[in-house]
Amino acid sequence: MRDKDPHIETDTESPAGDGPDDLYRIGTVAQLTQISVERLRAWERRYGLAPAHRAGKTRFYSAPQLARLTKIKRLIDAGQPISSLVELTDEQLDERQSALAGAAPGMSGQPARTGLIGTNLLVLEQQQDEDLRIQIAGRWANLAAFERDQLGVDTLDAVVVQMPVANEDDLDVIVDYFPKAQIVALYQFGTAKHVAAIENRGIPALRWPTPWQEIESAVASVHRQANAPQKAAARRFSDEELVAIAASTLSDPTGCPQHLVELISQLNAFADYSRSLGEDALLDGIHVDATQARSHLERALEALAMAEGLIATPDPEAADLIG
């Protein structure tokens, strides 16, 4: 809803969204953008995102500012820090949003809907000044409170639980309510045996106290693994073919074919290494990620090889990369 201040004169000749009649109170902006009033004020102090007008202590934002803040909030929710966005033009913000919209399923950068369990963990979250990389969808002081009530929480991508003692049984309580959620366990005390039992289930186990940034990274990692392709990508080129392509494109002034061959070879080696470490959920995910990353580079190399006439039968997917 639009708020008008009685102390601001209305200019009916002003273009839509450009005059005093199109100003929004800071509280209304917070509701429309889902950016808290406190955070808007912090951005004003730190980054100079000042409102269009002030009337006493009340801040008013213009319609273009409201639209810009909405774009920024969407990108922050996708994991991009405010510090990387404040200097961008509206066109650049639109480009970043378009890039996110065109990303592959599961890799769009959308933050994990995360539940937090544990008194000290909730206190740690409240102490964070910067924008969070995860979306907090539920908070409980302890496991007993979690069991009593999940009101308003339909689904969770991840649950971070702070436990006084590393106890695998406590994790089963969470699984009963959110079987598809990825769990990150924070333990204060625990034997090597109990910690290993948790990690063998593919659940990161971190010693408390844990820095918030490390918690966010653990959540992002398990969320990415859960959404990553579950099948390793097959190789497009043998080692001999890679050597032949690199040798045949030495005259390329950009050096791109040779660099791609080097990167693909490194990823081949790393994929083999990750497979040799054993089989569990985390290592399997790393192996799949490595092969998928190699597959993307192989398509790019295939496109370059086609342009040089080194590949007789074009691949439609690779042909798209040329344009």
Boundaries of CATH 3.40.50.2300 in the chain?
A: 113-227
Residue-level pLDDT at 100:
63
Interatomic CA distance for residues 154 and 137, integer angstroms? 9
- CATH of the structural domain 113-227, one choice from 2.60.120.10, 3.40.50.2300, 3.40.50.300, 3.30.1370.160: 3.40.50.2300
Pairing between β-strand 182-189 and β-strand 158-165 as defined by DSSP bridges? parallel
Interatomic CA distance for residues 51 and 37, integer angstroms? 12
Interatomic CA distance for residues 135 and 78, integer angstroms? 9
Residue-level pLDDT at 107:
45
Per DSSP, the three-state class of 24 is: strand
Burial of 165 (0-12, 13-18, 19+ CB in 10 A): exposed
Q: Cα(first)–Cα(last) distance of the chain, in Å?
A: 45
Pairing between β-strand 135-140 and β-strand 113-117 as defined by DSSP bridges? parallel
How would you write the pLDDT of the chain (323 residues) with one tens digit per residue?
Answer: 444 443 333 333 333 343 455 799 999 998 888 888 888 888 888 888 889 999 888 899 999 999 999 888 888 776 677 777 888 888 888 888 777 655 444 444 567 889 999 999 999 998 887 667 788 989 999 999 999 887 778 889 999 999 999 999 999 999 999 998 999 999 999 998 999 899 888 888 999 999 998 898 888 877 766 655 557 888 888 999 899 888 888 888 888 889 999 999 999 999 999 888 876 666 777 888 888 889 889 888 887 887 777 765 434 333 333 33
Tokens (6 digits) for 69: 């803040």
CB 215 within 8 A of CB 185: no
Domain 20-101 has CATH 1.20.1260.10: no
53 strand-pairing partners: 60
Boundaries of CATH 1.10.1660.10 in the chain?
A: 20-101
Radius of gyration of the chain from Cα atoms? Answer: 25
Across 305-320, b (16+ Cβ under 10 Å) vs e yields bbbeeebeeeeeebee
Residue-level pLDDT at 68:
92
